Amino acid sequence: MKGVWTVERVRAAERRVFERTPEATLMRRAAFAVGVRSAELLTEHTGAVSGRRVALLVGAGNNGGDALWAGVFLLHRGVAVTAALLAPERTHAEGLVAFRRAGGRIVRVPEDTEAAHVAVSTADLVIDGIVGLSGRGPLRPPAAELVNLVTGPLVAVDVPSGVDPDTGAVAGPAVNADVTVTFGGRKPGHVLADGAVCSGAVHVVDIGLGDELGEPDLVLLDAADMGALWPVPGPEDDKYTQGVVGVAAGSETYPGAAVLATGAAVLATSGMVRYAGPAADAVRTRWPEVIATGSINDAGRVQAWVVGPGLGTGAAGREVLATVLEKGVPVCADADAINLLAAETALWDAREPDTPLVLTPHDREFARLAGDVGDDRVAAARRAAERTNCVVLLKGHSTVVAAPDGRVLVNRARGAWPATAGSGDVLSGLIGALLASGVEPWLAAGCAAGVHELAGDVAADGAPIGASALLAAVPDAVRMVRAAAAASA
């Protein structure tokens, strides 16, 4: 697992480290890493370092100081570096002296705006040291104008400026980085909301904060974690011992949701899948291995239920949901099951206390259930999980999974191809399969989200896909995470 730490936690660690290591030492380590990564990018993009042009965007604080010291490193490598000072009276003093001494060129904004425009638009690479951990709100106008002129690769120092470091929210102009070099550990802004996209490839550098950071605020599962968690049958297993999945989904109007959710359960684990509902014929035709029946009351025993996709919110859907919640086994409730739970509080009483319930809302379903998501997706999911005593998986480009005890994991998508109709139905089937296999609900939801997103990426391979193609790529995605686990064992 990879950790993610909030600004408050990073600041606390920083204070403890400053007691034994001077601030300047930490800044040099940070800046050195920015310089090295920038030199690598120059080589990748232009074939050389020496003789190339780099522009620094330098704000009022230590983030600008990092950029200036990175500039010193690049000057020593023969790069022509221009620093555009956006708050000339508050520029990091030592960094500026060192930069001048190393032969760097300085332009002041707003006085030399024209020169700054030329430097940025003709640079082979631009370093964003406008603002870092103290950043609030969008880029201010002079910085936003300069960022708009960037054509070469853009390296953000610590956090792309204009992105809220703690929530990833972007409320206006922001830096869209190719690479973000960050220190000690990832920040929420790198993995959440629009910040996940603005950060580009995140490169974490050890500057000595490591042990002082403590337990992370959020975690990311990597492929090896998912591969290690994915259920695999053993020699003693048969079709029942691996956990039977039940799917209560679909309706006369939406049989496809049933076919997709059931198919995901079939492909996620071996063992057995049961289906109960009005789409039994459609499910049987597409997935002959599924034991399908028309009524929830004839469904037989299962170890976990998936309920909701395409279910409808009428009396029949309500009855199915209440029946499933009373079964006393883990449940993944998606789509109309969430809408029903949001509309009718009495339905919660049907739930066997303490049986795990995983809710998988998108933003609009979340709003019905627990109010507007707002800018802080982690706080919203955490609050809802605590209040409902459920695992809450909040869908999106970055999927946030909160457990009732406050643990949160995030899955940051590689691309947006999984944003296709029916893709959520596939996700719910995957979660149900992992729940039935006995994977802990919070990890089951996180692991399913990761494999789902990977399957979307693999299936798309650069072209649009439908949910059926995403579903068909699930076995490839499972093979990939299992291979990653085997490689890291």
Ligand X SMILES: Nc1ncnc2c1ncn2[C@@H]1O[C@H](COP(=O)(O)OP(=O)(O)O)[C@@H](O)[C@H]1O
Residue 20 found at the interface with ligand NPW (CB under 6 A): no
Q: Quick one: which of 6, 62, 91, 161 contacts K ion (CB under 5 A)?
A: 161
Burial class (CB in 10 A: 0-12, 13-18, 19+), 383: middle
One DSSP character per residue, 32-97 reads HHHHHHHHHHHHHHHS-STT-EEEEEE-SSHHHHHHHHHHHHHHHTT-EEEEEESSGGGS-HHHHH
Q: Quick one: which of 422, 441, 446, 450 contacts ligand X (CB under 6 A)?
A: 422
CB of 154 to ligand NPW, least distance (A): 15
What is the number of the residue whose Cβ is closest to ligand X? 424
Tokens representing residue 200 in the block: 């580009």
The option from K ion, ligand NPW, ligand X, none interacting with 303 (CB < 5 to 8 A, set by class) reads none
219 three-state secondary structure: strand
Q: Known binding site for AMP: residues?
A: 395-399, 424
CB of 82 to K ion, least distance (A): 17
Residue 162 found at the interface with ligand X (CB under 6 A): no
Residue 292 found at the interface with ligand NPW (CB under 6 A): no
Residue 419 found at the interface with ligand X (CB under 6 A): yes
Kindly write out the interface string for residues 432-471 of this chain, putting x where it contacts ligand X by CB under 6 A and - elsewhere.
Answer: --------------------x-------------------
User: Hey, how many other C-beta atoms are within 10 angstroms of the C-beta on 115?
Assistant: 16
The option from K ion, ligand NPW, ligand X, none interacting with 413 (CB < 5 to 8 A, set by class) reads ligand X
User: Hey, how many other C-beta atoms are within 10 angstroms of the C-beta on 319?
Assistant: 12
Q: If we measure between CA atoms, which residue out of 287, 313, 443, 293 comes closest to residue 365?
A: 313
CB of 396 to ligand X, least distance (A): 6
SS3 content of the chain, % helix, strand, coil (to 5): 45, 15, 40
User: Hey, how many other C-beta atoms are within 10 angstroms of the C-beta on 270?
Assistant: 15
Q: How many residues does the chain have?
A: 489
Q: Which amino acid is at 449?
A: A
Residues 130-159 that bind K ion (CB under 5 A): 132, 156-157
The option from K ion, ligand X, ligand NPW, none interacting with 209 (CB < 5 to 8 A, set by class) reads ligand NPW
Residue 128 found at the interface with K ion (CB under 5 A): yes
> Applying CB under 6 A, which part among 131-139, 323-331, 371-379, 423-431 lies near ligand NPW?
131-139
Q: Quick one: which of 184, 250, 396, 450 contacts ligand X (CB under 6 A)?
A: 396
The option from ligand X, ligand NPW, K ion, none interacting with 133 (CB < 5 to 8 A, set by class) reads ligand NPW
The pairing of strands 291-293 and 408-412 is unpaired
Kindly write out the interface string for residues 54-83 of this chain, putting x where it contacts ligand NPW by CB under 6 A and - elsewhere.
Answer: -----xxxxxxxx-----------------
CB within 8 Å of 486: residues ≥ 6 apart: 227
- Report the chain's C-alpha Rg in angstroms: 26
Burial class (CB in 10 A: 0-12, 13-18, 19+), 489: exposed
Residue 399 found at the interface with ligand X (CB under 6 A): yes
Identify which of residues 416 and 486 has a Cβ nearer to ligand X in the complex: 416
What is the number of the residue whose Cβ is closest to ligand NPW? 132
Q: Quick one: which of 413, 447, 458, 481 contacts ligand X (CB under 6 A)?
A: 413
Residues 60-79 that bind K ion (CB under 5 A): 63
In angstroms, the CA 331 to CA 311 distance is 15
Q: Known binding site: residues?
A: 62-66, 128, 132-138, 158, 161, 257, 310, 362, 395-399, 424-425
390 three-state secondary structure: coil
Binding site for K ion (CB under 5 A): 63, 128, 132, 156-157, 161
